[in-house]
Amino acid sequence: MRARCSRTATFLLTCILAAWSVYAQDLPRVRLVATGGTISNKTGGRLTAEELVGLMPGIDRYAKPEFEQFANVASAQITLDQWLGLGKRLNQLFKDDPALGGVVVTSGTDTLEELAYFLDLTVRSDRPVVVVGSMRNPSTLGYEGAANLLDAFRVAAAADARGRGVMVVLNDTINAAREVTKTDTLRLDTFQTRGYGILGVADADRIDFYRKVERKHTAGSEFDITNVAALPRVDILMTYQGAPGDLIKAAVDAGAKGIVVATAGAGATSGTQPEGISYAAEKGVFVVSSARAGSGRIPARQRPADAQPNPRSEHLIQGEDLSPVKARILLMLALTKTQSGADIQRMFLEY
């Protein structure tokens, strides 16, 4: 009787191991591309990409993790040249490896929303790209980096994540790169999408999506950075009571190819800013009006079909609902493709 039970137990164990082996083979491969940030910044040194992967308990239930170290610095130290390099690297990964399920990118939170939106416009694949970080460092009580990273891998491995653009995952929530904003300097729930709401949640039982982004992104983007060597200079200036236009003139004279004005209300400027904007337009510099309020649109002007060309107005672009920092990113990429004001305005309507 004992021998029969032993044989039965062995048979059951063999079946379980075989079933697990088949299941594990079906798990998607997800690659971590680490750039640094608070999520890595422990006292006395920075965690590597390999060490970050080792922090995730139970990752083998959701994905086969891979990793590489792109950089390991604070987000404010990442350069625009590195943005280009990272975008090219992700495109190369997807091109060379059709079986790769998705990519997770770590970033410092201070400029995370900017990096995420840049990738949203330049990574030309419908496979998931998830940008993740943490508000507390690994040496701090309550470090949430490991949980955020595991959620990011789970989202990148989810079949429903395809075609949703670049996503930002922190604090169990999934936000669209185009829409998310860091809203608090310290709180764990700092990344929010005001007005539109989250894309979904990373709950313990499953990844649950609620909606998609309707604007163009990733696989539908026209921005090809393959041969882009450098991004054009675009500066941001803010409207406030009595704001001087000479700051706009100074930016133009310093070589800015575009300027974003974080305007009051739905496009109002102040002080002598209109003079500065006129100066920029006359010099062929594009000026985008974006809202400093944090939400709301600055609608594109309707231009009559029979209107006479006006060099000044051709260089004035309405930023729609993009925040100033994201309007800057779209304008930089637009200027790598065109010098047509009408075409740039179209991009602000479509992206």
Q: Which residues are catalytic?
A: 38
Scanning the chain, the segments in alpha helix (DSSP H) are 2-26, 49-54, 80-96, 112-122, 145-157, 246-253, 273-282, 311-314, 324-335, 341-350
Distance, CA of 41 to CA of 47 (rounded, Å): 6
β-bridge partners, 79 = none
- Residue 49 makes CB contacts below 8 A (sequence gap 6+) with 32, 33, 34, 67, 68, 69, 106
Q: Return phi, psi of residue 303, to 5°.
A: -100, 120
Distance, CA of 132 to CA of 135 (rounded, Å): 10
